[in-house]
């Protein structure tokens, strides 16, 4: 646990050196999800903008986890430092979890500014205590999902080239702008295999009804699905690690 804490601290200290990163992180999410939220606003459908905002915001969380955790080995690999990570007395999983904690903290920062900028543009989300619970649950379960992607990316290096495209696929299929119920049944089958679908649905119900009633079945499915991806991710991570050790490819990219 202490090792993880030190790694998180290291990431934060490095980031503190680069001041403009903080400006970028505060503003970028507003601009990225803005087109979807404003498009729904001009469609003149009541409460659609709020619904799209919560969907797009949670998708942006996934986006950050996929870059922070899912793509967690790339920077070290490019800089030739991955071998040091492997030699350090920290497991790859601990290394990824430290990136997840760092991403969680950054996502809280991002969420604050995104909601503030949309509020200034007249699009408000009614925030109540359960919303923070939703963010914590999202953080944990999207981390599990991202670890699966990180393992894939360690195994097949070039997967990172389709990281952005993959995030969009997951976002669209999870109902980031539209309700999943509006999709054809064969598309819905895929949607229900993505943890983000359940998080967005719970988030929308929370914002719409102001309560968490009726969310337990969804949370149960989400929990099972997320743990399934975590187990699969750990297995794949171990397999990729062993294969790279066997081939001696830690320093190749």
CB atoms within 10 A of CB 133: 13
State which of residues 12, 83, 121, 193 lies at the interface with other proteins (CB under 8 A).
Answer: 121
CB of 43 to other proteins, least distance (A): 4
State which of residues 4, 7, 8, 40 lies at the interface with other proteins (CB under 8 A).
Answer: 40
CB of 163 to other proteins, least distance (A): 7
Cβ proximity of 237 and 93 under 8 Å: yes
State which of residues 7, 8, 11, 36 lies at the interface with other proteins (CB under 8 A).
Answer: 36
Nearer to other proteins, 130 or 183 (CB): 183
Cβ proximity of 101 and 68 under 8 Å: no
CB atoms within 10 A of CB 161: 10
How is 1-28 classified by DSSP, letter by letter?
-HHHHHHHHHHHHHHHH-HHHHHHHHHH
Cβ proximity of 153 and 75 under 8 Å: no
Dist CA 175 CA 201 (whole Å) = 8
Residue 118 CA from chain centroid, whole number: 21
> Site mask, other proteins, residues 101-120, x = CB under 8 A?
-------------------x
101 Cβ contact partners less than 8 Å away, ≥ 6 residues apart: 4, 8
Nearer to other proteins, 163 or 205 (CB): 163
Cβ proximity of 175 and 191 under 8 Å: yes
Give SS3 for 236.
helix
Nearer to other proteins, 119 or 216 (CB): 119
CB of 183 to other proteins, least distance (A): 8
Binding residues among 67-86 for other proteins as defined by CB under 8 A: 75, 78-80
State which of residues 161, 211, 242, 252 lies at the interface with other proteins (CB under 8 A).
Answer: 161
Binding residues among 164-223 for other proteins as defined by CB under 8 A: 164-165, 168-169, 171-172, 176-179, 182-183
CB of 83 to other proteins, least distance (A): 15
Give SS3 for 66.
helix
Length of the chain: 253
Nearer to other proteins, 30 or 215 (CB): 30
State which of residues 48, 108, 190, 221 lies at the interface with other proteins (CB under 8 A).
Answer: 48
| Residues that bind other proteins in the complex, under the rule CB under 8 A | 18-21, 23-24, 27-28, 31-32, 34-36, 38-40, 42-45, 48, 52, 75, 78-80, 120-122, 158-159, 161-165, 168-169, 171-172, 176-179, 182-183
């Amino acid at each position: 646990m202490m090792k993880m804490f030190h790694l998180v601290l290291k990431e934060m200290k490095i980031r503190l050196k680069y001041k403009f990163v903080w400006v970028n992180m505060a503003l970028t999410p507003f601009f990225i999800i803005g087109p979807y939220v404003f498009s729904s606003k001009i469609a003149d459908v009541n409460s659609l903008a709020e619904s799209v905002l919560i969907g797009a915001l949670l998708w942006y969380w996934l986006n950050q986890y996929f870059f922070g955790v899912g793509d967690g080995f790339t920077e070290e690999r490019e800089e030739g430092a991955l071998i040091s990570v492997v030699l350090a007395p920290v497991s790859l999983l601990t290394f990824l979890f430290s990136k997840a904690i760092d991403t969680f903290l950054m996502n809280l920062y991002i969420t604050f500014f995104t909601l503030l900028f949309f509020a200034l543009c007249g699009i408000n989300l009614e925030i109540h205590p359960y919303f923070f619970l939703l963010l914590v649950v999202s953080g944990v379960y999207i981390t599990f999902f991202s670890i699966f992607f990180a393992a894939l990316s360690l195994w097949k290096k070039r997967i990172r080239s389709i990281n952005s495209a993959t995030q969009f696929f997951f976002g669209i299929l999870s109902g980031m702008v539209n309700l999943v119920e509006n999709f054809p049944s064969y598309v819905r089958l895929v949607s229900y295999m993505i943890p983000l679908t359940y998080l967005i649905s719970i988030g929308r119900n929370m914002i719409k009804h102001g309560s968490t009633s009726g969310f337990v079945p969804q949370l149960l499915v989400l929990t099972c699905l997320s743990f399934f991806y975590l187990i699969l991710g750990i297995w794949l991570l171990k397999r990729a690690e062993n294969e790279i050790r066997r081939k001696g490819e830690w320093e190749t990219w």
